[in-house]
Amino acid sequence: MRVPYEWIKELVEISATPDEVSERLTMIGLEVEGTESVQNEIVFEVNVTPNRPDCLSIIGIARELAAAFQTHLKMPPHEIEEPQPQSEYSVDIADAELCNRYAGRVITGVTIAESPAWIKKRLEQCGIRSINNVVDITNYMLLEFGHPLHAFDADTLLGNKVIIGAPNTLRGPHLRPKFKTLDGIEREIPEDSLLIWDAVMPVAVAGIMGGSATEVTGATKNIFLESAYFAPASIRKTSKKLGLASESSYRFERGTDIEFLEKALDRAALLMRDIAGGTIHQIIDVYPVKYIPEPVEVNYAKINTLLGTALTDAAIDEILRRLGIPLSKSGDAVTVSPPAHRRDIRNNWDVAEEVARIFGYNNIPTTVPRTPLSSGRLDHKAIKLKKIREAMRKSGFNEVINFSFMGGASLDLLSIQDNDRRRKQVVISNPLSQDSCMLRTTLLTALIANMQYNLDRGMKHIRFFEIARVFEEKTAALPAEELRLGGILFAEKTPSLWKEEAQGFYVMKGALESLLEELRLSGYSFTPSSEPFLHPGQSADITVKESCIGHIGVLAPAIVEKLDLKKMKPEIVVFELNLDFLLAHTPDTILYRSIPKFPPVERDIALVVDEKIPAARVQEIIHSFPSELIAGISLFDFFRGKSIPAGKKSLAFNIIYRSNERTLRDEEIETLHASLVEYLIEKTGGELRK
């Protein structure tokens, strides 16, 4: 917005130089982007933010400077004191929601001519060309008071009536009237756009542009002068639909002062009487939707806390009064009633900002932020979650993020029984769709959907994991929440001449074991699982401290068939873990142990046992052997075939023996190892494989 320096000085008594005024405006939030000399006078180019439409006027800028320089604002003459004859015109607002107030005055007996030099100069300084004295006065008021006015040739208004409403309100739906605007273009008006009508037809697009049929010309003798408040959203919508913008629409769509419009109307009427002659008639004012301030209660201490200042209550009150903001005090709080031109003040932060602007940001002391020192306690949960993500990425998995919703039929895919706890779903009251009508109780349905999405786009090797919460309906007010880690692996079984890949189950199991080792969790085991959606022979429950924390396994053939993937001969492995339990049982500290000084001794055991005995159980038996020299146990071979009796299987373990005090001798290890073999045979009922 262009603001002439001399015009400002007429409204505010200041002795500051243009540079000082420019700096002060910038410091109170009205950035001066530049200055230039127009007709030997300084003109500021002020950048006004969208939330401050009150500053899109000379009076608005002057009001801010008066508060900043602690002086008074001088209002231009705007009160009409002489008697005024009654007008024959009437105003009717048909759409009060779109037009909250409409006022007008008739000025009869005007003479259309050129404007005085001082008006033409001011308009040209602000980038507006002169047209004639009446139109120039409406533009002058747009700049000075910030309220757009429109002058109609009163004699062209049929029926001496002004009606404000949209076509669908006044003439019924599906009516799109056409009329020619002041720019000479005939426009088809949207049915929901607000128009100004006379008794017969539309005469202006409200708040945007008048019509050519009622424009002021050299033959005009009588003026109907309009001053109104239109709903900003309506003006913006119509402006965008028509592709038509003006100085008026720019202000109306940001919000004008509904209380101030009467002063703007009277000021313009006085100028027309003084410059163009004529008689001013009584005001016609229809005000169906009154402005009601929305009070904001603010604590004085809160303002100082937000700003880092130590202002007294009286100093804060004084700043608000200088800005023209009414207030009332109550103890340690102040209730602010934002005036009609400051609808942007809605909460205590807005009030604090007003105080800071006028007090001066440069006057607020610079202080070092008070940051509490760490107590030395680390957020172990966050550290562990970071380790989990890193461990999964090291194993080749990519993290996905899904919405916490699922459909009513999602669990049917996994053949989850009705009595399963995962059927206790929380139903959403206002779902976006039936596919998102419940909070999910498992991560697997979303991971399977992620897999299908990528398969449809040609991806054949998929490894995803997700960390998220699942929800279970409880009798309490809020559902139960549980943090889970879920994963899925997909690989198409294709023959390869140059490599032999491990089965997907063992790849996934190895990734989980690496994860558990990363978390330094011991005492876990894998036992056969009975999950309905997992393959009976290629699945396992994961147990920690005798509690099942999750499961891992290949998707059952019936599930793969439901997914219509059977032709691809896929290998789909999934897992899901209870992270809340897992994180609670992982150690927070690292215990240091020195590197062993003495060499280990390794021995192998190949044992044929009953097929029903899991390998984890055999490992537990080895761990229970009464010897401190067993340092490590690992399963390295599993075999079932012709050389093994039916119902049996061969498990081969590698045993590491080590002492922290001495070097072990072969004779000692042979005796110990033989005792371990006898112990295993006795406990398992198995035999050594020959």
**pLDDT tens column, 601-610:** 999 999 999 9
Mean pLDDT of the chain: 91
- Say what the pLDDT of residue 279 is: 96
CATH code 3.30.56.10 region(s) in the chain: 2-68, 296-363
Q: Which residue has the higher pLDDT, 475 or 273?
A: 273
Identify whether the C-beta of residue 265 lies closer than 8 Å to the C-beta of residue 144.
Answer: no
- CATH number for the domain whose boundaries are 90-286: 3.50.40.10
For residue 587 the two structure tokens come to 């150690």
Token pair of 240 as six digits: 């965008």
Q: pLDDT tens digits, residue range 227-283? A: 999 999 999 999 999 999 999 999 999 999 999 999 999 999 999 999 999 999 999
pLDDT (0 to 100) of residue 142: 96
Q: In what order do the strands lie in the sheet with 426-427?
A: 405-406, 438-439, 426-427
Arithmetic mean of pLDDT, 663-688: 91
In this predicted model, what pLDDT tens digit does every residue of 61-94 receive, in sequence order? 999 999 999 999 999 999 999 899 999 999 999 9
Q: Measured in whole angstroms, how far is the alpha carbon of residue 138 from the centre of its chain?
A: 42
Contact 148, 239 (CB under 8 A): no
Average pLDDT over residues 635-657: 89
Residues 6+ apart with CB under 8 A from 48: 1, 30, 55, 56
pLDDT of residue 374: 56
pLDDT score for 269: 97
- When pLDDT is averaged across residues 21-49 and rounded to a whole number, the result is 94
Binning pLDDT at 50, 70 and 90, where does residue 588 land? confident
Q: Report, as an integer, the average pLDDT of 562-586.
A: 88
Read off the pLDDT of each residue in 29-41 and give the average, rounded to a whole number: 93
CA–chain centroid gap for 372, Å, is 29
Cα distance between residue 18 and residue 677, in whole Å: 99
C-alpha to C-alpha distances, 228 to 3, 77, 255, 270, 450, nearest whole angstrom: 24, 20, 11, 18, 56
**CA torsion, ordered 268, 271, 277, 282, to nearest 10 deg:** 40
pTM (2 d.p.): 0.59
Q: What is the pLDDT of residue 232?
A: 96
Is it the case that residue 343 has pLDDT exceeding 90? yes
Q: Tens of pLDDT along 141-181? A: 999 999 999 999 999 999 999 999 999 888 777 677 888 99
> Over the stretch 389-436, which tens digit does the pLDDT of each residue have?
999 999 999 999 999 999 888 888 898 988 888 898 889 888 888 888
Instruction: Answer whether 583's CB lies under 8 Å from 564's CB.
Output: no
Which two structure tokens, joined as six digits, stand for 80?
């009409």
Mean pLDDT of 325-348: 91
The pLDDT of residue 576 is 96
Position 35 scores a pLDDT of 93
Looking at the domain that runs over 2-68, which CATH code has it been given?
3.30.56.10
Q: What is the CATH number of domain 601-688?
A: 3.30.70.380
Distance (Å, whole) CA 148 – CA 184: 21
**Domain 296-363: CATH class, spelled out:** alpha beta
Are the C-beta atoms of 69 and 200 separated by less than 8 Å?
Answer: no
**Would you place residue 497 in the very low, low, confident or very high pLDDT band (cuts 50, 70, 90)?**
low
pLDDT at position 67: 95
- Give the pLDDT score at 210: 94
**Cα-Cα-Cα-Cα dihedral sign, residues 117, 122, 125, 130:** negative
Model pLDDT, residue 466: 96
Average pLDDT for 350-366: 92
Q: Which residues pair with 555 in a beta bridge?
A: 534
Three-class SS state of 169: helix
The mean pLDDT of 677-683, rounded to a whole number, is 91
Share of the chain above pLDDT 90, in %: 68
Q: What is the mean pLDDT of residues 431-445?
A: 90
* pLDDT more than 70, % of the chain: 97
List, in sequence order, every residue forming a beta bridge with 108; answer none if it has no partner: 222, 279
Question: Confidence band (pLDDT; 50, 70, 90) for 371?
Answer: low
Q: Which of 125-129, 177-181, 257-261, 442-446 has the lowest mean pLDDT?
A: 177-181
Residue 522, pLDDT > 90, answer no
Those residues with Cβ within 8 angstroms of residue 296's Cβ, 6 or more apart along the chain or in another chain: 335, 336, 337, 338, 345, 346, 347, 348, 350, 351
Q: What is the pLDDT of residues 180-221, one digit of tens each?
A: 999 999 999 998 999 999 999 999 999 999 999 999 999 999
Helices 313-322, 58-68: inter-axial angle, 10-degree rounding: 160
Pairing mode of beta strands 327-330, 209-210? unpaired
Residues of the chain with CATH 3.30.930.10: 380-584
Query: Based on C-alpha coordinates, what's the Rg of the chain?
Result: 41
pLDDT at residue 372, as a whole number: 63
pLDDT at 368: 77
Bridge-based pairing state of the strands 149-153 and 222-230: antiparallel
Structure tokens at 145: 């008071």
Q: Where in the chain is the domain with CATH 3.30.70.380?
A: 601-688
Q: Please, what is the Cα angle at 635 between 632 and 637, to 5 degrees?
A: 145
Rounded Cα–Cα distance for residues 114 and 117 (Å): 9
- CATH T-level topology, domain 380-584: BirA Bifunctional Protein; domain 2 (3.30.930)
State residue 168's pLDDT score: 87
Distance between first and last Cα of the chain: 97
